[in-house]
C-alpha cells in the first residue's frame, strides 16, 4: 500500500474520501485516517498501517467525482517563473533589468480551486479570464529546508495546476485576480515522488479545445522546485497538504494578438509527463 503511486481525494456516494488509484479502481482509506493530509503524510513516510487483513472498500474510477487532492488552504503560487513567460508579458526595458533573486509568491484560497473534470466558472464580472498550466508540488511532511535534499524530502509528489487568472482584476490586485471562486483547478491526483526522480525534466502542455497553447520543459524554470521550497521555508513551516504551484511558461491568452480568453463551453487541459492530465470545462 505504501508503494501505490497515485494519491487521490474524491467524492463517492455523497462522502468525501481519500485513498489510492489501483488499476481501474479507487481504494478508499478514509476510514483508517482522520484526514487526507494524515494519509498523505503516512504514504510519504511509508508508514501506512491498516492493521491485520483489512477489508479496504473500493470504487470504480468512473463512478467517483474528483476533488482537489488536498483540503489545505495553503496554495502557494509563483509568478513569472519561466523566462519565456516574462518575455511575453514585459517590455524590453523591464527585461533588461536583473531577474529577481527570489521567486514572487502569491496565494490562492481553496475556494478558488476545483478538481479534475469539475466545472470552472467564468464570472460575468470579467471578459478577461485566462489560462496558465503549471506543475505543482505537494508537501507530505511538516518541516523546513535549507538544502536540496531537505527540500525534496518534504515533497510527497506532484500534480497538475490550472492557475485561472482574471486579468483585468489582476491589474489592480494579484490576490483578487487569482481568487475568483472556482476559477482554477488542480489534480487529478498526486503522482508519487518515487515515480518522478527529477521534477525539472518534465514536459508541460496546455490545450484549449484540443489545440496546444503552451508547451515547455520544467527545466526552463527560473527558480527550480527546490529553490522555491527553500525560499518558502525562510518564512513559513511547510505542512502536509500544502501546494506549491511553480509558474507557467509562455503562451497564455493575454499575450496573443488578439488575446484569447476562456469562455463558457471551452475545454482546458493541463498535461504533464509522468504526472497526469487535468481536464476542466468552462461554464
Predicted confidence at residue 54, as pLDDT, reads 76
Could you state, in order of their start, the residue ranges of all structural domains in the chain? 6-66, 75-282
CATH number listed for the domain at residues 75-282: 3.90.850.10
The pLDDT tens digits for 113-156 are: 999 999 999 999 999 999 999 999 999 999 999 999 999 999 99
Contact 164, 261 (CB under 8 A): no
Cell numbers representing residue 48 in the block? 501506512
Spatial contact of 145 and 153, defined as CB atoms under 8 Å apart: yes
- Could you report the per-residue pLDDT of 89-116, keeping only the tens digit for each? 875 445 556 677 899 999 999 999 999 9
CB < 8 Å & 24+ apart, contacts of 87-92: 87/250, 88/250, 88/251, 88/252, 88/255, 89/252, 89/254, 89/255
Find, among 246, 250, 244, 280, the residue nearest to 265 by Cα: 280
| High-pLDDT (> 90) share of the chain, % | 88
Q: Which of 191, 219, 196 is nearest to 276 (CA)?
A: 191
C-alpha cell read off for 29: 482509506
Q: Is 255 exposed, middle or buried (0-12, 13-18, 19+ CB in 10 A)?
A: middle
pLDDT band of 72, cuts 50, 70, 90: confident
pLDDT tens-digit series, residues 150-209 = 999 999 999 999 999 999 999 999 999 999 999 999 999 999 999 998 999 999 999 999
pLDDT digits (tens, 9 = 90+) for 25-52: 999 999 999 999 999 999 999 999 887 7
Amino acid at each position: 500500500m505504501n508503494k501505490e503511486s497515485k494519491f487521490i481525494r474524491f467524492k463517492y456516494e455523497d462522502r468525501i474520501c481519500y485513498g489510492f488509484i489501483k488499476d481501474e479502481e479507487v481504494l478508499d482509506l478514509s476510514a483508517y485516517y482522520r484526514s487526507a493530509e494524515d494519509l498523505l503524510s503516512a504514504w510519504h513516510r511509508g508508514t501506512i498501517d491498516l492493521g491485520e487483513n483489512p477489508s479496504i472498500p473500493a470504487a470504480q474510477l468512473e463512478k467517483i467525482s474528483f476533488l482537489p487532492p488536498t483540503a489545505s488552504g495553503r496554495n502557494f503560487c509563483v509568478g513569472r517563473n519561466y523566462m519565456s513567460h516574462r518575455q511575453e508579458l514585459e517590455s524590453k526595458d523591464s527585461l533588461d533589468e536583473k531577474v529577481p533573486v527570489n521567486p514572487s509568491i502569491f496565494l490562492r484560497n481553496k475556494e478558488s480551486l476545483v478538481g479534475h473534470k469539475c466545472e470552472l466558472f467564468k464570472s460575468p464580472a470579467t471578459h478577461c479570464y485566462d489560462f496558465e498550466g503549471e506543475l505543482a508540488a505537494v508537501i507530505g511532511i511538516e518541516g523546513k529546508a535549507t538544502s536540496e535534499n531537505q527540500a525534496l524530502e518534504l515533497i510527497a509528489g506532484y500534480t497538475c495546476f490550472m492557475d485561472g487568472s482574471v486579468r483585468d482584476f489582476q491589474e489592480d490586485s494579484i490576490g483578487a485576480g487569482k481568487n475568483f471562486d472556482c476559477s482554477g483547478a488542480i489534480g487529478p491526483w498526486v503522482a508519487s515522488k518515487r515515480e518522478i526522480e527529477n521534477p525539472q525534466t518534465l514536459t508541460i502542455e496546455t490545450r484549449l479545445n484540443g489545440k496546444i497553447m503552451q508547451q515547455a520543459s520544467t527545466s526552463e524554470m527560473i527558480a527550480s522546485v527546490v529553490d522555491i521550497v527553500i525560499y518558502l521555508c525562510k518564512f513559513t513551516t511547510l505542512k502536509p497538504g500544502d501546494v506549491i504551484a511553480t509558474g507557467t511558461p509562455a503562451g497564455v491568452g493575454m499575450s496573443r494578438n488578439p488575446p484569447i480568453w476562456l469562455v463558457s463551453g471551452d475545454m482546458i487541459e493541463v498535461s504533464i509527463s509522468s504526472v497526469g492530465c487535468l481536464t476542466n470545462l468552462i461554464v
